[in-house]
Structure formats: structure tokens, C-alpha cells
Chain A
Amino acid sequence: MEALRSGDEDAFRELFQRKSGLMKRIARGFVASDAVAEEIVQETWLAVVNGIDRFESRSSLNTWISSILINQARKHGVRERRSTPFGGLGSHTGDGPSVDADQFEKEGDAWPGHWAMGPRPWHSPERRLLSLEAREHLRHALGQLPERQRQVVGLRDVEGCSAEEVCSLLDLSEENQRVLLHRGRSRLRASLDRYLAEEAA
């Protein structure tokens, strides 16, 4: 903190290296490209260095940096949506069921609402899901989620933030946070399910 105020470059580089990866992933939840996310991280650090005198130790340095980051990311997110046709629809899609209705028995069958065949079993998922290819697939699938789901799943499941932290960072109610987490996780499970079935075929 003092090092930041006095402009100590070595101390700054250390902080930059330690925090930028995480910051970039958070930014990535708001915008569609890696390059823009990197730009947001740089802008955030510039604002941190220039604004450090306004920082009051009432909040933690982490929280202060995160709030600047999310502000910058929001500004970019808004700009990006304006420039991408149909982009604004992203946050309204993905409200379907977690598992397709045709996977369950119908009204009039012996057990309506119960699995017809059951979920496809995943064989040795721990090994297969950690392969480079599976991780690329999952990263891509995460990027395809509607924006709010991507942000919540990214912060909760990739970064390991708590529900409370995510609610306050993204200004969400507890219930909305859970709904977004649920939709995102359900869709990613379905995506991994398809990936594992294709890979085995």
C-alpha cells in the first residue's frame, strides 16, 4: 500500500503479477474477447495507481481494486453490446430446463417426471475432464454462456469466490445469484456430457 503510494516499481510489479490473472478472468466475464479483458486490467491498474490517494483503508485493497475493475469492465461491456448485433439478447437466453424434457417419462407413463433412461454415465471423468482438450472445450462453453451466468459461474466455480462476495461484486440478490449459478452449471454439465459422449464415440 505504502509502496503503491510512493510509486515503488518492484513492489508494483509483484502485485501486478500476483493479481492480474484473476482480474483478467473476472473482466473476461463481462466482455467477449481476451484482448479487451487485458485492456480492462491495464486500465484498472492505471486507475489504481492514479487513485491510490482516494483509497481509504475502510475497505480492503482487494475489494477496492475489484470494484474499479468491475466498473471499467461494465463500461466496456456496454460499449461492446452496442457494437455487436444481437449481442444484447445474450442475457435473456438460456431459461430452458436444466435437462431436456424428453429425458424424463411423460404424463401417462409409469413414472411421470422420472428419468426415462437415466443420465448417460461418465466413465473416469476425473482423468478425462482434466485433459487439455476437455479444458479447452469447457473454457469455450463457459464463454458461450449468457453474460450474467458466465460472470457468476466464473467467479464462484473458477475463482472460488463465496456467494456473498459474488452478490456484492455483481450487485445481485442471493436468489438471483443462485438462479444464474444453477443455469450456468446445468448448461456446462450438459455440454461436458455431450463432449464426453462424442469423445468416447
Chain B
Amino acid sequence: MTAPREHVEEISCQEFVELVTDYFEGALGPRTQNRVEEHLVMCHYCETYAEQIRATMRALRALDDEPPAGEPSPAILAALRRRREDSR
């Protein structure tokens, strides 16, 4: 009796691609988390997909190197000057 039910509870690849972020974030309940992990062990395609999401995250992290934004504006420098004068 229990076998077909377990089968129904397996997640599909189409479901996996919607759960992958919650899985990475550790936000799944224990039952769903188990099913996702079981699926990943069996499904080479979803393993590839998950790795592509990780590669996307690494590529995004590598964008974090833009040069700083120019110079303080004259208005800021004037405000600093007022502070210096006030604190004298």
C-alpha cells in the first residue's frame, strides 16, 4: 500500500527547478529537503542545473569590482568645511 504513495511524493525535475533556491537557503522543511536530496542523487540533469545556478552566483559575485564613484561633490566639501569652521 505504501509503495505507490511514496512514488507520488517524489519530486519532479520541473518541481526541483522551483525549489533549488529554498534548498540552497536551507529554507525547506525536513521532508521536502529529503526529497530534494534524494532527487539530486538520482537525477544527473538536476544536478547539472543546480551547478549552473551556483556558477551563475559565482559570476554575479565577480561583478563586485566596479571602480568607486568619482569624487565628493562641491556641496559635500563645502559642508565639511562648515563643520571644520564650527568645531574650531
Measured CB to CB, the residues of A under 8 A from B are: 4-9, 12-13, 16-18, 20-21, 23-25, 37-38, 41-42, 45-46, 49-50, 97-99, 101, 104, 111-115, 118-119, 121-122, 125-126, 129-130, 134-135, 138-139, 142, 153, 157-160, 163, 174, 178, 181-182, 185-186, 188-189, 192-193
Report if B76 contacts A (CB, 8 A): yes
Counted as pairs of residues, one from A and one from B, with CB atoms less than 8 Å apart, the total is 160
Q: Specify which chain A residues have a CB less than 8 angstroms from the CB of B53 in the assembled complex.
A: 185-186, 189
15 examples of A-B residue contacts, CB within 8 angstroms: A7-B79, A8-B80, A12-B72, A42-B76, A45-B73, A98-B18, A113-B14, A138-B59, A157-B57, A158-B61, A178-B21, A178-B22, A188-B56, A192-B55, A193-B52
Main secondary structure, interface of B, reads helix
Contact with A along B11-42 (1 / 0, CB 8 A): 01111011011100101000000000000000
Please measure, in the bound complex, the distance between the C-alpha atom of A129 and the C-alpha atom of B56, giving whole angstroms. 8
Main secondary structure, interface of A, reads helix
Known: A125-B55, A188-B60. A42 touches B83 (CB 8 A): no
Report the interface size for chain B: residues with CB under 8 A from the other chain: 48
Nearest CB on A from B87, distance (A): 5
Tell me if A114 and B63 are in contact (CB < 8 A).
Answer: no
Tell me if A182 and B60 are in contact (CB < 8 A).
Answer: no
Please measure, in the bound complex, the distance between the C-alpha atom of A134 and the C-alpha atom of B59, giving whole angstroms. 9
Report if B3 contacts A (CB, 8 A): no
Q: Specify which chain A residues have a CB less than 8 angstroms from the CB of B13 in the assembled complex.
A: 104, 113-115
Measured CB to CB, the residues of B under 8 A from A are: 12-15, 17-18, 20-22, 25, 27, 43-46, 48-49, 52-53, 55-64, 66-70, 72-73, 75-77, 79-87
Please measure, in the bound complex, the distance between the C-alpha atom of A17 and the C-alpha atom of B68, giving whole angstroms. 6
Q: Specify which chain A residues have a CB less than 8 angstroms from the CB of B25 in the assembled complex.
A: 163, 178, 181
Tell me if A135 and B83 are in contact (CB < 8 A).
Answer: no
